[in-house]
Structure 1
Amino acid sequence: MSEISVRLLDEENWSEYRDVRLRALRESPEAFVASAEEEDDYPEERWRDRMRRSRRLVAEADGSAKGVASLGSYAADPAMGELFGLWVEPASRGAGVARKLLEAAAAQARADERKHLVYWVGTDNGRAVAFASSFGFRPTDSRRPMRIHGVDDAEDAEELAMVLPLGNTSGLPTSL
């Protein structure tokens, strides 16, 4: 794979985001609350609205999208950003795409004057927890039930909030 670059998409790039988002939903349906079938029928205005609500980052190499991540505001605390919707195509996993997306998301969160970045990770996804930890995210005591698309018996599934301090802030927030 050639060099990985990450681009911040704007509203006019809604169709690029839609295409990579639908790829992610089709390839990893268990990783998302939504389904490709559901989102495939969204009209252009709904995609544009999504672009206005959160920042969308796309990782590219060899002329095509290799991964995507979203960065939004964290509802409980405006000083915090939230990373969500992180996905890397299977053929590019382990090649540094996720790291590049996290670096870009953290840089954007700092530019947006966020103090911390929150990333919810499935407690049973050891690989994701280890990856986030290697980047500097730290686990918190905050947990929430996790809905898994297409899995009816996922009652016990939960996510934990991992937090990355940004800039000159020390420690983790006291509550999420």
Structure 2
Amino acid sequence: MSDISVRALGEDEWQTYRSVRLEALQESPDAFVADHTDEADEGEDFWRARMARSARLIAEVADEDRPVGVVSIGDTADEDAEDAGQLFGLWVAPQWRGRSVAASLVRRGSEVALERGVRHLYYWVGTENARGVAFASSFGFRPTDDRRPMRTKKDDPEAEQEIAMVLALGEDRR
């Protein structure tokens, strides 16, 4: 198995993020709110602004000439949660799924969040995605009572719900 390294991208690496983000949108269109065509048309200013909003991490392996996974760490929408952050946009190239890439991204993402002063890291998972819930639970994410309609580009009132799962970071893991 190849060694997996995860690193945060700098703002000047917007083209690297753009490339892996567009690959994710194209390969897994139903997993994201965004649309590949719309984002592919965006220019440098859009991508630089996006890089400034959140930490963007990529997974790389020595025998690949491109990133094999991506995740973002950013703020939550809850203004009352000063010490909370959010893990989102997790994607792994299909040929690398099941090979610890996602786990490496989540581990490093948790470290980055903690370095930024985050004490509670949220991750939204589809309530019908048993594999996703089990994956998040394996890291210590615990379900909350917060639910919302699945955020996809389809406006379907019968759409699946998402559950907010939370991971306590730092020494006090309660």
Give the TM-score normalised by structure 1: 0.92
Unmatched 5+ residue regions in structure 1?
172-176
CA distance in 2 between counterparts of 1:42 and 1:155 reads 31
One-letter identity of the residue aligned with 1:41: D
Counterpart residue number, 1:169: 172
Identify the residue that residue 105 of structure 2 maps to in structure 1: 101
Would you say the 8 A contact 1:11–1:48 is kept in 2? yes
Q: CA deviation at 1:158?
A: 1.1
Q: 1:90 aligns with which of 90, 94, 98?
A: 94
Identify the match of residue 124 of structure 1 among 128, 131, 154. 128
Ranges of 4+ aligned residues in structure 1 off by more than 4 Å: none
Q: Number of residue pairs matched? A: 170
Identity of aligned residues (%): 55
| SS of the residue 2:87 aligns to | strand
Aligned residue in 1 for 2:33: 33
Q: Does 1:54 align with 2:57?
A: no
The correspondence for 2:141, drawn from 137, 145, 162, is: 137
Q: Output the CA distance in 1 between the equivalents of 2:30 and 2:113.
A: 27
1:98 and 1:72 map into 2 onto residues whose CA distance is: 17
Aligned amino acid, residue 88 of structure 1: V
- Alignment RMSD (CA, Å): 1.2
Aligned counterpart, 2:116: 112
Asked if 1:19 is matched to 2:23, the reply is no
Q: Is the 8 A contact 1:148 1:154 kept in 2?
A: no
Tell me by how many angstroms 1:155 deviates: 2.9
- Structure 2 unmatched runs, 5+: none
Give TM-score scaled by structure 2 length. Answer: 0.93
